Structure 1
Amino acid sequence: MQKRQRRLQHPGAKAVQGDQSGDRRQAIVGGETHACSAMSAQPLSVFISYSHRDEALKQELEDHLTPLRRQGKILPWHDRDLEAGAEWNKEILNAFDAANIILLLISPRFMSSDFCYGKEMQRAMARHRNGDVKVIPIILTPTDWKGAPFAVLKVLPKDGKPVIEWSSHDAAFLDVVKDIRRAVETLAGSPPPQADGWGTPPPQAAPPQVASAQTPSLDSDPERFAKRGQLFKDLASLPGPQFNQLMFMIKPPPGHVPPDSAPQANRVTALLEWADSQLGPGLAQVESLLTQIVGSPRSL
């Protein structure tokens, strides 16, 4: 895999131009401390997950987030053009797990990205279910997102109308930022999430059976993280009857996996969370049962 030099841009510093290939990540997790030294409230951290091919729309959103930054509600720090590797994994996971709010910029490019959809979005939804982060999907362009795990959340802009279909992008992003501002103000009085990999759920926010099955941190185990992402792809593409057969064989305890009426992607995410937790049988057992049903999972 081609490697690129990692470039970090501090607010106010001139961006360095470089290779534009690959997906980009942006974490709003700190910076410009001098501008907010007089602010009494602690700024919240925001993580933006997006495809690099939506860079222009992402930049427009950033422009609309500027008032929140200048008011000391959020403090930006940019981490751009990172490629796979140990340092990259640690940088991204640390920024991700420090976030109070995660913005998912949804487009066909996002949905087709193994990293954006298969890793960041799945991890975001896991932290959301644990109750330690606010996840906000933002529909940039017309996209078939129904049935995706984040479809259970409120999507922006209003009524899920894609940004580019509004009378102007500014009008759409203004609608988006109004909701983000409300989320920031609501969370401002809450303690920050624990940055322990998947986060520790507040007792009042999660069902007892889920709260006792915390997922071990994946920060130091990128191989297991990748395996979990591959299993999600294999299981999500599995025909319904075969997935139900696997569920019958593995028998997760009641309450850990949504019922048959729920979207299969949601059920897969919950199944893998439970299986990879201290109460579950482990990812290897899921993969073994999947192989028994369909042969090599990679052939799906």
Structure 2
Amino acid sequence: MSAASSLSCRVVLSYARLDEAHRQTFRKHVADLERSGVHVFDDRDIQTGVDWEPVLFDEMERADIIVLLLTPNFVASEFCMDSELPIAERRWKSGECRLFPVNVAPFDVAKDSFLGRLQRTPSDKSLTEYRTAAPKQWREVARQLRKLVEGVSDARDRGAAPTSRPTHSGTGAPGGQGAATGNHITGSTVHGPVWQVGEVNGGMTINYTQPPAADGPDDPPKSP
């Protein structure tokens, strides 16, 4: 199996339902990523008759990369801003996933908002502002996403750092006794890529690594 066909990564798309045309465009441009083994998911992939909300949130909790299709519709959507975006922000800040904000159409947010601080792609102007050149920019978005996917897959192969929701076994005990997954303990200090910690008994100092930099959804119901 070639390197191009052995990519292992979970990508979830967050978008506003009013931006269905942009969702379709995005999925067309990342179709070859899916052929390479990348799991690409959005709410349209949920089967009819299924309770869609827990499925969607579970996919977001397990995603290695969360793609945000940013438009005025996204910002106006209570579901996108109040339900989906907080999951993405929490997991990104804890280092559990990467964010890939796509600047699809011009929008305005407060300077101190989370979205306002994220670097987007394209960074100069939105895709819709490119007009006839937009298809070329969509291809560039797909290429950038592929590079990010390859980086996540390589990091997983090296065991460098978790990019999906981690699991932890064992609890720390007084004097630094205990077990930790993907870390090592010296005295009462845990070293390494500690992303999420459950209950810890005894005095311990946890050194957190910084979360990765950002690379760079219409209101309910979002049933398929």
TM-score range, shorter chain: 0.5 to 0.7
Which has the larger displacement, 91-100 or 122-131?
91-100
- Which residue matches 2:84? 120
Query: Matches of 2:91 and 2:52 in 1, distance apart?
Result: 20
Task: Tell which has more relative contact order, 1 or 2 (C-alpha 8 A, sep 6+).
Answer: 2
What secondary structure sits across from 1:105 in the alignment?
A: strand
Query: Matches of 1:90 and 1:37 in 2, distance apart?
Result: 35
- The answer to whether structure 1 residue 179 and structure 2 residue 150 are counterparts is no
Once the two structures are TM-superposed, the CA of residue 146 in structure 1 deviates from its matched residue by 5.0
Q: Please give the per-residue CA displacement for 1:46-77, whole angstroms capped at 9, x wherever unaligned.
A: 110001111111111111111222233x1345
The percent identity for this pair of structures is 27
- Go from structure 1 to structure 2 and tell me whether the alpha carbon gap of 1:107 and 1:80 turns closer, same or farther (over 3 Å shift): same
Once the two structures are TM-superposed, the CA of residue 168 in structure 1 deviates from its matched residue by 2.3
Query: Matches of 2:8 and 2:45 in 1, distance apart?
Result: 25
What secondary structure sits across from 1:53 in the alignment?
A: helix
What secondary structure sits across from 2:39 in the alignment?
A: coil
Once the two structures are TM-superposed, the CA of residue 194 in structure 1 deviates from its matched residue by 2.0
Q: Kindly indicate whether the alpha-carbon contact (under 8 Å) linking 1:94 and 1:195 is maintained by their aligned counterparts in 2.
A: no
**2:99 partner letter:** V
- Which residue matches 2:32? 67
- The answer to whether structure 1 residue 58 and structure 2 residue 23 are counterparts is yes
- Go from structure 1 to structure 2 and tell me whether the alpha carbon gap of 1:119 and 1:169 turns closer, same or farther (over 3 Å shift): same
Once the two structures are TM-superposed, the CA of residue 190 in structure 1 deviates from its matched residue by 2.7
Once the two structures are TM-superposed, the CA of residue 95 in structure 1 deviates from its matched residue by 0.9
Q: Kindly indicate whether the alpha-carbon contact (under 8 Å) linking 1:48 and 1:104 is maintained by their aligned counterparts in 2.
A: yes
Query: Matches of 2:182 and 2:196 in 1, distance apart?
Result: 6
Show structure 1 runs of 4+ deviating over 6 A: 36-40, 200-203
Superposition pairs of residues 1-300 of structure 1, within 5 angstroms: 41-72=6-37, 74-77=38-41, 79-80=43-44, 87-147=51-111, 148-159=113-124, 161-166=125-130, 167-191=132-156, 192-194=163-165, 204=192
- Go from structure 1 to structure 2 and tell me whether the alpha carbon gap of 1:110 and 1:154 turns closer, same or farther (over 3 Å shift): same
Task: Give the superposed CA RMSD.
Answer: 3.2
- Go from structure 1 to structure 2 and tell me whether the alpha carbon gap of 1:194 and 1:212 turns closer, same or farther (over 3 Å shift): closer
TM-score for both structures, normalised by structure 1: 0.49
Q: Please give the per-residue CA displacement for 1:74-116, whole angstroms capped at 9, x wherever unaligned.
A: 134554297xxx9333211211111110001111111011110
Once the two structures are TM-superposed, the CA of residue 38 in structure 1 deviates from its matched residue by 10
- Go from structure 1 to structure 2 and tell me whether the alpha carbon gap of 1:40 and 1:64 turns closer, same or farther (over 3 Å shift): closer
- Go from structure 1 to structure 2 and tell me whether the alpha carbon gap of 1:163 and 1:146 turns closer, same or farther (over 3 Å shift): farther
What secondary structure sits across from 2:145 in the alignment?
A: helix
Higher helix content, 1 or 2:
1
Query: Matches of 2:100 and 2:182 in 1, distance apart?
Result: 18
**1:193 partner letter:** S
TM-score for both structures, normalised by structure 2: 0.64
Any unmatched runs of 5+ in structure 2?
A: 157-162, 168-180, 184-190, 200-224
Paired residues, number: 168
Once the two structures are TM-superposed, the CA of residue 128 in structure 1 deviates from its matched residue by 0.3
